[in-house]
Chains A and B, each alone.
Chain A
Amino acid sequence: MSKVVIVGGGPAGIRAASVLVEAGLRPVLVDEGRRAGGQGYRAPAPNLDLDMKSLMGTEADKYSRLHALFASMRERIDYHHGTLVWGVHERALHTLADGVARTIPYDALILATGATDRIMPLPGWTLPGVFTLGGAQVILKDQGCLIGNRVVFLGSSPLLFLAALQYRKSGASVAAVVDTTPLSAKLVAMRDLMASPRTLARGVMYRTALRRAGVPLIDGATALGVHGKERVEGVRIKDGRGHERFIHCDAVAYGHGLKPETQLAELAGAHFRFDPVFRLWLPETDTDGRAGPDLYLAGDGATIGGADAAEASGALAAHALLADMGRPSPEPELARLRRQVGRLRRFQRGLARAFAWPVSQAAALPDETIACRCEAVTVGEIRAAIQTPLGPREVNRVKALTRCGMGRCQGRFCGPALQEIVSGACGEPVADVGRLRSQAPVKPIPLHAVSELEQTR
């Protein structure tokens, strides 16, 4: 029987696994997390009295259903939790768990690797107390911790409002929700947003709830910087009317939507194209997630769609894989899943317009702003390198000459901003300056990780 391996234990990976299990397969599910659920549906650490029902709000039922689904098939899959996949080469995954490197060969691979926050650098963004928006939610769900007492939610993302509400419910003082995209952009995006009226209504509800609670909601702002000495003391912004304001706080949850984790897809052979709406390089797939021979992508790791789309696309990828193995396809079910994924991803494209990646912020960044937090490379160093005679005009060359993107995170966090900074400094369209290439190890691995060369059966 062919060996099917799924990477990622979030909604997409779990649903893909369940479809394969129903078809009588025993897939391997490799999950970097200690417990299944991924980031969005992350379960609290054991022994933590956290009211997930209240925290998840309207999504509580889906959260419970997904975890119940996982529990019901737990014995019918090979689940490797706490296992990093750091490389893919010649139909084998290279993994690391508890300091031991192993190889897992596969016949077919479903990658459901999820997403991380997309971040535009900002003066002061490396100060302790500034965390990603997604991270602010994860630390609450996983550890029952708030990132601070008085928090500003800053950036551009529908999750600003959800996270602010979760924090408010948990007892934080929300100093403000500052959205860098103007309300007018939301109206322009309305056509796509109507693709999922329920999700749209939920977003409006979050805003209303926050406003009723007296939380200042600021739209169309420009983020100028996070201030403080060794810790966050406040955020300086220019509001939609052009007035500078200083908002006191001790923590900032910062993000501009999500960015797929595509490193493994690239190593497994996926091709990439520039998407002008997300302004990101995304792996190419067909509607069902086929990205190459025996390679399938699902969930936010393929393209941002949210948790519901992740589940449906996980199921689609698994069905595509089964069909490619010669198994019959449940056509009506597939048609329904395709419609659902299509609708939800269209909605996300609307969101990408309604909560825009702040390109103009990149151009306005002061030279001394850190672009690459791993290597402490400033925006000015990047601009200077480009302006040197024979200077680079492509991001991987910029990386080679400035070290931007060379550090421990491998350009995950500076990559999207680097593209904008290079594009701005060269005067070239962002699609023409390239993207940082991925290399194994996609995350750091210790030198003592001894390869057992154990071929997992």
Chain B
Amino acid sequence: MSDEALGRVSKGQFVRVATRRGASLRLTVDGDPVEAVEGDSLLAVLMLNGRAVRHLEFGGEPRAGFCLMGACQDCWVWLGDGERVRACTTLVADGITVWTDPRRSGHV
């Protein structure tokens, strides 16, 4: 069965199958505007809208997290204020700026 036949085409890796009620939030990821809903984890938002969370420091291969429960430490991203967060255990806040490449964040 194709994705279309299932009636869901996701822009990213993840597919949301439950309705999320709540305030809508806006954030930017690597400069692009992205929409989210209150209660969304940053990793869910990144993976609903794309296929990688970051690129590995060594060799640059794409990574999308792995354990999804704060243990494997593979989904760290940078926020606009220079803060480092683990995407899978961080809730999205309205207006945040997310950088998946530290060099673009301008903080290091």
Which residues of A approach B to under 8 Å, CB–CB?
A: 32, 34, 39, 44-50, 116-117, 126-132, 134-136, 138-140, 142-150, 170-173, 230-231, 250-251, 261, 373-376, 407-409, 412-413, 443-444, 446
Contact = CB atoms under 8 A, between A and B. Distances in A.
Interface residues of B, number: 50
Interface in B1-49: 1, 3, 6, 8, 10, 13-22, 37-41, 43-44, 47-48
Nearest to A82: B89
A233 to B, nearest CB: 12
Contacts of A443: 70-71, 73
Interface of B: 1, 3, 6, 8, 10, 13-22, 37-41, 43-44, 47-48, 51-53, 56, 58-59, 61-74, 76, 83-84, 86, 89, 91
Given A135-B66, A139-B44, A47 B18 contact: no
A145 B48 contact: yes
A47 to B, nearest CB: 4
A446 B73 CA distance: 13
Contacts of B40: 45, 143
Given A143-B44, A230-B51, A116 B73 contact: no
Contact of B22 (A46, A136, A373): A46
A32 B70 contact: yes
A446 B84 contact: yes
Given A47-B20, A129-B64, A147 B13 contact: yes
B67 A132 contact: yes
Contact of B71 (A116, A129, A150): A116
Contacts of B20: 45, 47-49, 144
Given A47-B21, A230-B51, A373-B72, 5 more contacts: A47-B20, A49-B18, A170-B18, A171-B8, A443-B70
A121 to B, nearest CB: 12
B66 A49 contact: no
